[in-house]
Structure 1
Amino acid sequence: MPRILTYNVRRCLGTDGRLSPGRIADVIAAYEPDVVALQELDVRRARTGGIDQAHAIAQALGMQMHFHASLRVMEEEYGNAILTHRPSQLIKAGPLPGGMGRLAPEPRGALWASVNLGGTDVQVITTHLGLRRYERLAQVDCLLGPQWLSHRACREPVILLGDFNASPRSRAYQRLASRLRDAQVAAPHRRAVPTFPSRLPLLRIDHAFVSHSVHVVRVESIRSPAARVASDHLPLMVEFQVMPVRGQRASVAHVRS
Structure 2
Amino acid sequence: MPRILTYNVHRCLGTDGQLSPTRIADVIAACEPDVVALQELDVGRARTGGIDQAHAIAQALGMHVHFHASLRVHQEEYGNAILTRRPSQLVKAAALPGLTGKPSLEPRGALWASVNLSGTDVQVINTHLGLRRHERLAQIDALLGPHWLGHRACREPVILLGDFNASPRSRAYRRLTSHLWDAQAAPRLSRPKATFPSRLPLLRIDHVFVSRSIRVLRVETLRTPLARAASDHLPLLVEIQILQSRGHRPSVAYAQG
TM-score of Structure 1 vs Structure 2, range by shorter chain: over 0.9
Q: Is this contact kept in 2: 1:188–1:218, CA < 8 A? A: no
Paired position in structure 2 for 1:253: none
How far does residue 2 in structure 1 lie from its aligned partner after superposition? 0.4
TM-score, scaled to structure 1: 0.95
Paired position in structure 2 for 1:158: 158
Letter in 2 for 1:76: E
Paired position in structure 1 for 2:124: 124
Letter in 2 for 1:174: R
How far does residue 115 in structure 1 lie from its aligned partner after superposition? 0.1
How far does residue 118 in structure 1 lie from its aligned partner after superposition? 1.3
Secondary structure of the structure 2 residue equivalent to 1:139: helix
Q: Is this contact kept in 2: 1:180–1:210, CA < 8 A? A: yes
Q: Against the structure 1 CA distance between its residues 149 and 27, is the aligned structure 2 distance closer, same or farther, given a 3 Å change threshold?
A: same
Letter in 1 for 2:29: A
Q: Is this contact kept in 2: 1:187–1:219, CA < 8 A? A: no
Single out whichever of 186-195 and 54-63 deviates more from structure 2. 186-195
Mapped pair 1:149 → 2:149: yes
Measured against aligned partners, the alpha-carbon deviations of 1:155-212 in whole angstroms (never above 9, x if no partner) come to: 0000000000000000001000100000000152311010000000000000000000
How far does residue 99 in structure 1 lie from its aligned partner after superposition? 3.0
What are structure 2's unaligned runs of at least 5 residues?
A: 250-257
Q: Is this contact kept in 1: 2:99–2:134, CA < 8 A? A: no
How far does residue 149 in structure 1 lie from its aligned partner after superposition? 0.4
Mapped pair 1:96 → 2:88: no
Q: Is this contact kept in 2: 1:4–1:238, CA < 8 A? A: yes
Question: CA separation in 2, counterparts of 1:80 and 1:113?
Answer: 12
Q: CA RMSD in A?
A: 1.3
Secondary structure of the structure 1 residue equivalent to 2:217: strand
Paired position in structure 2 for 1:255: none
Letter in 2 for 1:241: Q
Output aligned runs, 1:1-257, within 5 Å. 1-99=1-99, 103-186=103-186, 188-246=188-246, 248=247
Single out whichever of 151-160 and 97-106 deviates more from structure 2. 97-106
Letter in 2 for 1:83: L
How far does residue 100 in structure 1 lie from its aligned partner after superposition? 5.1
What are structure 1's unaligned runs of at least 5 residues?
A: 251-257
Q: Is this contact kept in 2: 1:98–1:104, CA < 8 A? A: no
Secondary structure of the structure 2 residue equivalent to 1:30: helix
Question: CA separation in 2, counterparts of 1:51 and 1:62?
Answer: 18
Paired position in structure 1 for 2:253: none
Question: CA separation in 2, counterparts of 1:187 and 1:126?
Answer: 24
Percent of paired sites with the same residue = 77
Letter in 2 for 1:111: L
Letter in 2 for 1:10: H
Secondary structure of the structure 2 residue equivalent to 1:11: helix
How many pairs align? Answer: 249
How far does residue 69 in structure 1 lie from its aligned partner after superposition? 0.2
Measured against aligned partners, the alpha-carbon deviations of 1:78-123 in whole angstroms (never above 9, x if no partner) come to: 0000000000000000000003567520000000000001110000
Secondary structure of the structure 2 residue equivalent to 1:69: strand
Runs of 4+ residues over 4 Å off in structure 1: 100-103
Measured against aligned partners, the alpha-carbon deviations of 1:36-86 in whole angstroms (never above 9, x if no partner) come to: 000000000000000000000000000000000000000000000000000
How far does residue 249 in structure 1 lie from its aligned partner after superposition? 9.5
Question: CA separation in 1, counterparts of 2:86 and 2:97?
Answer: 31
